[in-house]
Chain A
Amino acid sequence: MSSTRKLRILVAKPGLDGHDRGAKIVARALRDAGFEVIYTGLHQTPEMIAAAAIQEDVDAVGMSIMSGAHMVLMPAVVDLLRARGGEGIAVFGGGIIPDDDMEALRAKGVKGLFTPGTPLAEIVDWINANVTPRQ
Chain B
Amino acid sequence: MAGEKDDLESIAARREEWEEKECRESFGRIPARLPRFSTVSDMEVKALATPADVPNMDYERDLGFPGCYPYTRGAQASMYRGRLWTMRQFAGFGTARDTNGRYKYLLSQGQTGLSVAFHYPTLMGYDSDHPRARGEVGKCGVAIDSLADMEVLFDGIPFDKVTTSMTINGPAAILLAMYIAVAEKQGIGQDAIGGTIQNDILKEYIAQKSWIFPPRPSMRLIVDTIAYCTEHVPRWNTISVSGYHIREAGSTAVQELAFTLADGIGYVQAAADAGLDVDAFAPRLSFFFNAHVDFFEEVAKYRAARRIWARVMKERFGAKRPDSLRLRFHTQTAGCTLTAQQPMNNVVRTTIEALAAVMGGTQSLHTNSMDETLALPSEQAVTVALRTQQIIAEESGVPNTMDPLGGSFFVEWLTGRMEADALEYIRKIDDMGGIIPAVEQGYPQREIADAAYHYQQQLEKAEKVVVGVNKYVMEGKIDIPILKIGEEVEAEQRRRLAALRAGRDGAEAARCLEAVERAARGTENMMPYFIRAVKAYCTLGEIIGVLRRVFGEYKDPGMF
A interface residues with partner B (beta carbon < 8 Å): 15-21, 24-25, 27-29, 39-43, 45, 67-73, 76, 96, 98-99, 115-117, 119-121
Contacts and interface: CB of A to CB of B under 8 A. Distances in A.
B121 interface: yes
B556 interface: yes
Contacts of A45: 131-132
A21 B485 CA distance: 24
Contacts of B340: 96, 115-117
A23 to B, nearest CB: 10
A98 B372 CA distance: 11
Given A18-B208, A117-B340, A71 B135 contact: yes
A65 B308 CA distance: 37
B115 interface: no
A68 B140 contact: yes
Contacts of B339: 117
Interface in B124-140: 124, 126, 131-136, 139-140
Contacts of A69: 120, 134-136, 139
Interface stretch (B274-282, B448-456, B535-543): B448-456
Interface in B449-476: 449, 452-453, 456, 459-460, 466, 469-470
Contacts of B558: 39-42
Contacts of A119: 459-460, 470
Contacts of A17: 120, 140, 210
A96 B375 CA distance: 7
Given A27-B560, A43-B556, A68-B140, A73 B209 contact: no
Contact of A16 (B136, B373, B449): B136
A25 B452 contact: yes
Given A43-B556, A117-B340, A16 B460 contact: no
B560 A28 contact: yes
Contacts of A43: 124, 556
B420 to A, nearest CB: 27
Contacts of A99: 477
Contact of A68 (B211, B477, B485): B485
B412 interface: no
A76 to B, nearest CB: 8
B298 interface: no
Contacts of A40: 558
B204 A18 contact: yes
Contact of B136 (A20, A27, A67, A120): A67
A69 B485 CA distance: 10
B452 A98 contact: no
A117 B341 contact: yes
A21 B250 contact: yes
B201 to A, nearest CB: 12
A73 B140 contact: no
Given A68-B140, A117-B341, 9 more contacts: A17-B210, A19-B209, A19-B248, A20-B556, A28-B560, A45-B132, A69-B134, A72-B134, A116-B340
A96 B139 contact: no
Nearest to A24: B449
Interface of B: 120-121, 123-124, 126, 131-136, 139-140, 204, 208-211, 248-250, 339-341, 373-376, 449, 452-453, 456, 459-460, 466, 469-470, 477, 482, 484-485, 487, 555-556, 558, 560
A21 B248 contact: yes
B257 to A, nearest CB: 19
21 contacts: A15-B136, A16-B121, A16-B124, A17-B210, A20-B556, A24-B452, A24-B453, A25-B452, A28-B453, A41-B556, A42-B558, A68-B135, A68-B485, A69-B120, A69-B135, A69-B136, A73-B134, A98-B375, A98-B482, A117-B340, A120-B456
Top 8 A-B pairs, shortest CB-CB distance: A18-B209, A72-B135, A69-B135, A68-B139, A16-B120, A41-B556, A42-B556, A41-B558
Contact of B460 (A21, A70, A98, A120): A120
A68 B136 contact: yes
A121 B460 CA distance: 8
Contacts of A18: 204, 208-211
A68 B92 CA distance: 14
Nearest to A65: B135
A27 B248 CA distance: 18
Contacts of A41: 555-556, 558
A37 B470 CA distance: 27
B193 to A, nearest CB: 29
A9 B452 CA distance: 21
A76 B22 CA distance: 66
B105 to A, nearest CB: 22
Nearest to B553: A43
A98 B485 CA distance: 12
A114 to B, nearest CB: 11
Contacts of A68: 135-136, 139-140, 375-376, 485
Contacts of B452: 21, 24-25
Contacts of A73: 134-135
B302 to A, nearest CB: 23
A27 B558 CA distance: 12
Contact of B487 (A29, A70, A72): A72
A27 B341 CA distance: 24
A15 B373 contact: no
Nearest to B251: A21
Contacts of A98: 374-375, 482, 484
A67 B132 contact: no
A20 B556 CA distance: 11
A16 B118 CA distance: 12
A54 to B, nearest CB: 20
B373 to A, nearest CB: 6
A19 B249 CA distance: 7
A96 B371 CA distance: 11
A117 B209 CA distance: 21
Contacts of A15: 120, 135-136
Nearest to A120: B460
A45 B555 CA distance: 14
B443 to A, nearest CB: 16
A28 B248 CA distance: 18
A96 B124 contact: no
B345 to A, nearest CB: 12
